[in-house]
Amino acid sequence: MAEIPLAARLFAKFMAALLCLFGGAVVAVDMLASRVAVDSYVDTLAERLESEAHSLARTEALAGGRLAQQQLVHLAGALGARITLVAPDGRVLADSEADPAQMENHRTRPEVASALNGRPGRSVRKSPTVGSSFLYVAVPSPHGAVRLAAPLERIEARSQAVRGRVLAAIALAFLPFVALSAWLARRIATRMAAVMEMGAELARGNFTVRLPEAGGGELRAFIRHLNQTGEKLQKLVEDLEREHAELERLERVRRDFVVNVSHELRTPVASIQGYAETLLDGALEDPRHNRRFLQVIRQNAERLGRLTQDLLALTQLEWKTRRFEFASYRLAALLDEAVETIRPIAAKKNVSVERAEIPEHWEVFCDAAAVHQIMANLLDNAVKFSPEGGMVEVSARLERDAGHVVVCVRDQGPGIPAADLPRIFERFYRVDKARSRELGGTGLGLAIVKHLVQAHGGRIWVESEPGRGAAFFFTLPLEDPGLAAEGDLHREFTVM
Ligand SMILES: Nc1ncnc2c1ncn2[C@@H]1O[C@H](COP(=O)(O)OP(=O)(O)OP(=O)(O)O)[C@@H](O)[C@H]1O
Ligand SMILES: [Mg+2]
């Protein structure tokens, strides 16, 4: 069986409550109306009977206390009431409808008792003789009491008629009332159902639901608060998701880093261990191998030293704990110093390193040691990947409007495939891992260079095509772009 919609259920409940309330009110009004009607009719009838009873008492007095049965029946017919004459001791002297000899003493009837005491009395009760309700009125007379009794049937019929009219009037008023209540109940039920359904959605964890802020009053304010709550929760969830993703990314970076470092350490350590054991096992006495083995041990120890140095440098840059000493330097001098340092190594490979002509007066604002480190890394790569007899060229161009110079280190090596270009500055990233390791590289050089350039507020990029060499570019500021200011030393750099 299909479930009845929430709005319809709420509507039914509202209407049931309203109808119960209204039903209760109708019953109360009906009871009150019939009671008031009966009371007022009984009062009027009682007053009429009392005045008739007084006249009758006077007639009885005139007749010397004796009224013929026939006369009594005639008078009762004219009055539309039963007449009973009672002696001071309560005995029935005459009755228009029964034989007095057969009737019991009336002394204890409340209206008769009151009349015999000198005060008119009245009473409403069921007649044991006839079986229906009667109004009894008795007044004192010189010969005891005169009592008149009239049936209440007609009064009851009249009061029923009044009740009918009252109920008809209520029903008429009820129709628009029901229509208005139904309209209002439907409106409230629909809105409340929407609010409750939204609450359920929020509880289910769906924070994207919103309700239109229609209508007015408290419900509108409540819907607004509910919407605001939804918005806040949604933002909170999004923030948490973002933070969670970032934490996951950082965790991945950390795990990769640890894996890479341990991997890089393993090879030289294993090599040192292996050759040391071979030497101890007897090779030390073998003049053909001992020197070569020791050289391998030294090379690997140097590699370990370089690796730890690079890691330390990178960590200092990433944690921004490295202090720089910025000042203005002549660019030509800085570049020459780097070129001279690499030349002897390049010469071993028959690679020439040249500096293009640049004006002597160009000055850059930098940390000289950092620029030396940048150039040393780029030149080291260029020479390392150059073929025998190749040429490495260092050049620079001025971009005064941008406030910097662009330094370029270009080689004639194998170049870098396009797919690798975007990742070349990541730590431990190498195009050909095996070959780079063979050449003594750990893949940290360019990551360090990138951080150093960024510490100068600069940018680094590479242009290369496989087989056509590679050109690395980086910028250096002409003047202090605010680097000397304390805060700027600790700007945020991208962590690779
Ligand atoms: N001039 C270049 N020509 C071709 N490939 C290059 C050049 N410079 C860098 N690469 C590629 O980029 C990788 C990363 O360079 P990077 O300087 O970071 O590491 P490395 O030189 O291998 O090791 P390290 O610099 O730590 O000794 C290199 O392994 C190489 O694959
Ligand atoms: Mg390198």
pLDDT cut 70: percent of the chain above it: 96
Q: Phi and psi of 484, rounded to 5°?
A: -70, -25
Q: What is the pLDDT of residues 170-201, one digit of tens each?
A: 888 888 888 898 898 898 888 888 888 888 88
Find the 176 Cα to ligand 2 centroid distance in Å. Answer: 90
Distance, CA of 449 to CA of 453 (rounded, Å): 6
The CB of 430 under 6 Å from ligand 1? The reply is yes
Cα(441) to centroid of ligand 1, in Å? 7
Q: Is residue 274 part of a domain?
A: yes
Sign of CA dihedral 412, 417, 420, 422: positive
Task: Give percent above pLDDT 90 in the chain.
Answer: 51
Catalogue the long-range contacts made by 193-200 (C-beta closer than 8 Å, 24 or more residues apart).
Answer: 193/5, 193/6, 193/7, 193/10, 194/7, 195/219, 195/222, 195/223, 195/226, 196/6, 197/6, 198/226, 198/230, 199/226
Burial group, residue 379, by CB count within 10 angstroms (0-12, 13-18, 19+): buried
Residues 451 and 480 reside in one and the same domain: yes
The ligand minimizing its distance to the Cα of 440 is 1
Pair 338, 310 in one domain: no
- For ligand 1, whether the C-beta of 390 sits within 6 Å is no
Residue 383, class by beta-carbon neighbours within 10 Å (0-12 exposed, 13-18 middle, 19+ buried)? buried
Report which ligand 1 atom has the smallest distance to the Cα of 445.
Answer: 25
Tell me, yes or no, whether 473 and 484 share the same domain: yes
**Amino acid identity, position 194:** A
- Round the CA-based radius of gyration of the chain to a whole number and report it: 59
Final residue belonging to a domain, choices 115, 137, 157: 157
Least distant ligand from the CA of 429: 1
CA angle 134, 135, 139 (to 5 degrees): 135
Q: Encode pLDDT of 35-48 as tens digits.
A: 888 888 889 989 99
In a domain, 51, yes or no: yes
Shortest-distance atom of ligand 1 to CA 414:
4
Residues 314, 214 share a domain: yes
Nearest to 437 by CA among 219, 268, 322, 314: 268
Residue 444 Cα: closest atom of ligand 1: 26
Here the CATH number for the domain that contains residue 328 is: 3.30.565.10
Do 355 and 432 belong together in one domain?
Answer: yes
Please give the structure tokens belonging to residue 65.
């206390």
Confirm if 113 and 57 have CB atoms less than 8 A apart: no
What are 129-142's pLDDT values in tens digits? 677 889 999 999 98
8 located within any domain? no
Domain identity same for 32 and 113: yes
Q: Are residues 147 and 262 in the same domain?
A: no
Residue 75: CATH number of its domain = 3.30.450.20
Nearest protein CA to atom 1 of ligand 1, as residue = 382
Asked if residue 17 belongs to a domain, the reply is no
Model pLDDT, residue 27: 87
Say yes or no: 368 and 462 in one domain: yes
Q: At which of 270, 287, 319 does a domain end?
A: 319
Q: What is the mean pLDDT of residues 265-272?
A: 91
The span from the CA of 480 to the CA of 180, in Å, is 78
Q: Which of 157, 185, 215 is the last residue of a domain?
A: 157
Distances (CA, A) of 43 to 4, 47, 49, 146, 243: 56, 6, 10, 19, 88
Q: How many domains does the chain have?
A: 3
Measured between its terminal Cα atoms, the distance across the chain in Å is: 60
Task: Assess whether 366 and 232 both reside in one domain.
Answer: no
CA-to-CA dists, residue 78 to 57, 221, 330, angstroms? 16, 76, 144
Beta bridge partners of residue 145, listed in sequence order: 86, 140
Query: Do residues 344 and 287 share a domain?
Result: no
Note whether 382 and 366 are within 8 A (CB). Answer: no
Does residue 192 lie within any of the structural domains? no
Which atom of ligand 1 is nearest to 425's Cα? Answer: 18
| Ligand 2 centroid to residue 406 C-alpha, Å | 20
Ligand 1 near 441 CB (within 6 A): yes
Q: Is the CB of 311 under 6 A from ligand 1?
A: no
- CA 184–ligand 2 middle distance (angstroms): 79
On whether the CB atoms of residues 135 and 152 are closer than 8 A, the answer is yes
81 neighbors 52 (Cβ within 8 angstroms): yes
* Ligand 1 pocket, mutate which of 261, 264, 436, 450 (most atoms under 8 A from CB): 436
Is the pTM higher than 0.95? The answer reads no
Highest mean pLDDT among 109-123, 149-163, 426-440: 109-123
Task: Check if 382 has its Cβ closer than 6 Å to any atom of ligand 1.
Answer: yes
For residue 253, is pLDDT > 50? yes
Distance 265 CA to ligand 2 centre (A): 17
**Is residue 392 within 6 Å of ligand 1 at its C-beta?**
no
For 122, the enclosing helix (H) or strand (E) is strand 121-126
Shared domain for 443 and 479, answered yes or no, is yes
Query: Is residue 436 in contact with ligand 1, taking CB distance under 6 Å?
Result: yes
pLDDT surpassing 50 at residue 315: yes
Report yes or no on 403 lying in a domain.
yes
| CA angle in degrees (0–180, nearest 5) for 58-61-63 | 115
In three-state secondary structure terms, 160 is: helix
Residue 180 C-alpha to ligand 1 middle, in angstroms?
83
Nearest ligand to the CA atom of 314: 1
Domain coverage including residue 108: 25-157
